Amino acid sequence: MLPLSGWINAVADAVVPVVQPYFRAVSTALSVPMQAIRQALIWLPWPAAALMICAAAAGAGGVRLVAVAAAAVVYVLLADYWIEAMNTLALVILAVPLSVAAGFAIGVMAWRWPQLGPVVTAALDLMQTVPAFAYLIPLLLLFGFGPVVGLIASAIYAIPPMVRNVMLGLERVPSEVTEAGLMAGCNPRQSFWHVTLPTALPQLLVGVNQTTMAALSMVIVAAIIGGFQDIGWEVLSSMRKAEFGQSILSGLVIALMAILADRITRGFADREAGGAGGRLAGRTIMVMFAVSLGLGFLLRFFLAGGALMPGGDVTRQYVTVLNQWVLALVQDHAALFAAIKNGVLYAFLLPLRIGVSGAATPYLWGFVMTPGLIALYGVVCAALAGWAFVSGRWRLAVFVIMAGTLLFTGLQAFPWPVFVLGLALMAYQSMGWKMAVFVAAGTCLILANGLWAALVQSLYLCVVAVLLSGLIGAALGLWAASSDRVSAAVRPVCDALQTMPQFVFLIPALMFFKVGEFTALIAIVLYAVVPPIRYVEHGLRHVDAGVMEAVTQIGTTPWQRLWHVRLPLALPVIMLGVNQTIMAALSMLAIAALVGTRDLGQQVYVALGKADAGMGLVAGLSIAFIAIVSDRLIHAWIGSGFAPEDGAGSLDGGRG
């Protein structure tokens, strides 16, 4: 076994004591503004803060968004989470500017010096695919334990969306615009700040939106090493104590904050891009902010600190009742939930993990794989592979052999040399020999570090989650594409699922199905089901109208138009949805490790508990390797029109 984690720990043991004082100084410096923002938000009476939030909502989205903001404020107050919400908001308020500034600087450098582009893209891929738990370990060693470490983790996690949007926005500025600025007498610096940057501003504001959502999605993960009184800590502690009613209340606070932050930041981005009117002007918003501050000073001067807070004993009584009701609901229907869990586990999950040879028992399937049945199975697979090879479809023959072996042995017992060879061959066919070497080397490195079992478990969970998410999402997306009413009903649900932090998905899964890989699967599917819904609907709705009119005139049925025209034309867009589904499933592995998986995510989480930087980084990079390979292969298939040729592609292709 290759002791790569031990080597990393040895380097960390030598380097960390030397550089730790400097990082602790940065942590101390950041603690000052963070404490100041926290104290200011807590000091500000809630009516004044609510008026500020409503003013921002009015400027971003008009009356409807103001109603959403008011409802969110009322809920947070009634749930008695105002102080915790303000502490979370303080973390986001400080993390987002740090991420935006760093992302803007990196994006501008990558745009100005194109030779940095591949390096920056590779770094962003790693930052977005390595689980957050993996880089919490070095942060914990360097910065120590506390709220500031959670702030730094959130800021780092939220940098990539800003970098990508800065690069995209600057690249999309028309050359005619910059040439007009130069012809008007601008020097390069003036052309950038007064011509290029204002033109790219709408895309940059989209980056601010995504950066805000990324920072907010980290609040529960940051609570693991932050440990202060914020919403993330409330969700985490209530889940640990199995107080599901309270975890639902606190998780809903984060969901509402995420939805509101998404709508406000997206509204301002749309406004810069020339979106719909009905919103307050910037000067009016500033006046409302000033009035809110004045109201805050007056209320703080005349009233005691908690006089306006409606929470307290009544709220705690309601929480107790809700906890009891949820526990009673789970207990009353325990048999139903157990039947669902065992049915999926024994009929679907277990055969995929251990294969037909292991799952076919009298207890599970009612029969066993006798030598005669095994021989018949082998003959059928060999016959299908031979037919495919004789027909000139050697790729199909290879697929039949590998799929037949996989179904028989399961992922756990699948021969690893065949796995490595098959994956490398797939990479070679899609993107050439460089990608094949990268795939083979990365897989062998995972094997050499003793992570084969964890890798197989990760692939098993992700494959099942992607299949279920794809089937459910494709069905809903197809339904939404054929009905405007269904589309209108599905859209807000997708928006809510897409804006909620990942931890929130564990609450209902854990509540009904307890710990285990089935619970992890449910949480992953809930998080990963949105991309197939959105991309299938988008792809089907945007098929060229002229093509549809032509095939309708020749007398095709709706079913023929769907299967022979709309789906083939929408396939590239749908494959992008498959790509995003895989990315979402992989990003949930480390989060799902909290409910009892045995995959690479669990390795990362265990390493965090032991402060084992080596194992955490090796396992995290293994997850990133799977994500990057999946991303590159799918983009290669899309770019080649699903007919890859030998030698095509290269290792440093960018993300879509």
pLDDT digits (tens, 9 = 90+) for 251-270: 888 888 888 888 888 888 77
CA dihedral 405, 411, 414, 416 (to 10 degrees): 130
**Cα–Cα distance measured from residue 90 to residue 216, given in angstroms and rounded to the nearest whole number:** 11
The tokens for 258 are 């995420």
Domain locations along the chain: 13-328, 450-639
Q: What is the mean pLDDT of residues 536-540?
A: 88
Q: What is the pLDDT of residue 469?
A: 92
Q: What is the pLDDT of residue 311?
A: 55
Dump pLDDT digits (tens) for 55-85.
888 888 778 888 989 999 888 888 888 888 8
Mean pLDDT of the chain: 82
The tokens for 308 are 């306006």
> Percent of the chain having pLDDT more than 90?
7
Dump pLDDT digits (tens) for 366-413.
778 888 888 998 899 999 999 988 888 887 888 888 888 888 888 878
Q: What is the pLDDT of residue 310?
A: 57
**Rounded to an integer, what is the distance from CA 555 to the centroid of its chain?**
44
Query: Is the model's pLDDT at 307 over the cut of 70?
Result: no
Q: What is the pLDDT of residue 651?
A: 33
Contact by Cβ (8 Å): 248, 79:
no
Query: Is the model's pLDDT at 295 over the cut of 90?
Result: no
More confident residue, 103 or 290: 103
Q: What is the mean pLDDT of residues 295-318?
A: 64
27 closest CA partner among 141, 158, 162: 141
Q: What is the pLDDT of residue 317?
A: 65
**Cα–Cα distance measured from residue 401 to residue 516, given in angstroms and rounded to the nearest whole number:** 32
Q: What is the pLDDT of residue 649?
A: 36
pLDDT-derived band at 192 (thresholds 50, 70, 90) equals: confident
The tokens for 610 are 């032991």
For 531-565, give one letter per residue: b (16+ CB within 10 A) or e: bbbbbbbbbbbebeeeeeeeeeeeeeeeeebbeeb
Hey, do 13-328 and 450-639 end up sharing a CATH topology, with the first three levels equal? yes
Whole-model pTM?
A: 0.78
Instruction: State how far the alpha carbon of 543 is from the alpha carbons of 82, 557, 564, 577, 636, in Å.
Output: 47, 17, 12, 16, 22
Q: What is the pLDDT of residue 589?
A: 81
Dump pLDDT digits (tens) for 150-159.
888 888 888 9
108 closest CA partner among 210, 216, 188: 188
> Percent of the chain having pLDDT more than 70?
92
**Cα–Cα distance measured from residue 551 to residue 569, given in angstroms and rounded to the nearest whole number:** 13
**Cα–Cα distance measured from residue 37 to residue 41, given in angstroms and rounded to the nearest whole number:** 6
Q: What is the pLDDT of residue 379?
A: 92
476 closest CA partner among 530, 523, 526: 530
Architecture of domain 450-639: Orthogonal Bundle (1.10)
Q: What is the mean pLDDT of residues 436-465?
A: 87
pLDDT-derived band at 222 (thresholds 50, 70, 90) equals: confident
Dump pLDDT digits (tens) for 23-54.
888 888 888 998 899 888 888 888 888 888 98
Contact by Cβ (8 Å): 170, 196:
yes
Task: Kindly tell me the burial class for residue 251, based on how many C-beta atoms sit within 10 Å of its own C-beta (0-12, 13-18, 19 or more).
Answer: buried
Query: Is the model's pLDDT at 98 over the cut of 90?
Result: yes
**Cα–Cα distance measured from residue 345 to residue 323, given in angstroms and rounded to the nearest whole number:** 28
DSSP string for residues in 104-150:
HHHHHHHHHSGGGHHHHHHHHHHHHHS-HHHHHHHHHHHH-SSHHHH
132 closest CA partner among 162, 102, 152: 152
Highest mean pLDDT among 299-303, 318-322, 346-350, 485-489: 485-489
408 closest CA partner among 456, 353, 447: 353
pLDDT-derived band at 647 (thresholds 50, 70, 90) equals: very low
Alpha helices, H only, 218-281: 219-226, 231-240, 244-272
Of the listed ranges 190-199, 219-228, 353-362, 539-548, the least confidently predicted one is 219-228
541 closest CA partner among 500, 484, 459: 484
Query: Is the model's pLDDT at 284 over the cut of 80?
Result: no
Percent helix / strand / coil, the chain, rounded to 5: 85, 0, 15
Query: Is the model's pLDDT at 415 over the cut of 80?
Result: yes
Query: Is the model's pLDDT at 447 over the cut of 80?
Result: yes
Radius of gyration of the chain (CA): 27
Residue 377: other Cβ atoms inside 10 A: 16
Helical (H) or strand (E) element with 567: helix 567-587
Reduce the DSSP state of residue 45 to 3 states and report it.
Answer: coil
Reduce the DSSP state of residue 515 to 3 states and report it.
Answer: coil
**Cα–Cα distance measured from residue 132 to residue 19, given in angstroms and rounded to the nearest whole number:** 22
Query: Is the model's pLDDT at 594 over the cut of 90?
Result: no
Query: Is the model's pLDDT at 645 over the cut of 50?
Result: no
245 closest CA partner among 508, 628, 571: 508
How many CA atoms are closer than 13 Å to the CA of 159, on its beta-carbon side? 22
Contact by Cβ (8 Å): 62, 2:
no
Contact by Cβ (8 Å): 624, 130:
yes
CATH number of 13-328: 1.10.3720.10
Q: What is the pLDDT of residue 316?
A: 60
Instruction: State how far the alpha carbon of 554 is from the alpha carbons of 482, 546, 549, 562, in Å.
Output: 21, 13, 9, 15
Q: What is the pLDDT of residue 275?
A: 54
Dump pLDDT digits (tens) for 100-142.
999 999 999 999 888 888 888 888 888 877 887 777 788 888 8
Query: Is the model's pLDDT at 176 over the cut of 80?
Result: yes
The tokens for 588 are 């949930």
Sign of CA dihedral 428, 431, 432, 438: negative
Contact by Cβ (8 Å): 54, 292:
no
pLDDT-derived band at 318 (thresholds 50, 70, 90) equals: low
Q: What is the pLDDT of residue 655?
A: 35
Sign of CA dihedral 61, 67, 71, 77: positive
Q: Give me the numbers of helices (H) and strands (E) for the chain, helices first please.
A: 33, 0
N-to-C CA span, the chain: 37
529 closest CA partner among 488, 570, 496, 564: 496
Say which residue the tokens 């309601």 belong to.
318
Query: Is the model's pLDDT at 609 over the cut of 50?
Result: yes
